[in-house]
Structure 1
Amino acid sequence: MSSLAWLESLRIPRVREDLLAPKGPDTGSVTDIAYRWGFVHHSGFAAAYRRRYGETPSDTRFRAVNL
């Protein structure tokens, strides 16, 4: 596993935790959360997230804030 792949494997679960968190002062948009965890290329982040979780980050966020 490359060092970038290893780093991504650590950060993506943290992004998911933030996406699933209810709205609050420390939450934000999908883009805000991705940037917070070091993902600067939105399309690459979204593709990696979908490969891992089978849904888009925005679908995860939508479900979390609308339950």
Structure 2
Amino acid sequence: MATEVLGNIVADPNATPKKLTESLGVSKGAVSQHLANRLEKDNYNSDRGAHVTDGSTCSGLTNAARPT
């Protein structure tokens, strides 16, 4: 599933979460989870659940493999 999510993003970098869920036939949560798992597997760390001022959440990514 993560490969399909990434493939859809590569094919359409401006794809919205709604468009991804519709094209893959899965929930927004499933898209988010598969994408987060794949990014972590590929040495990206995600700061899941970072709250923003409107009460929603967002994820920040950092490349763990990048030299400091």
TM-score by length of 1: 0.42
More helix by share: 1
TM-score by length of 2: 0.42
Higher relative contact order (CA 8 A, sep 6+): 1
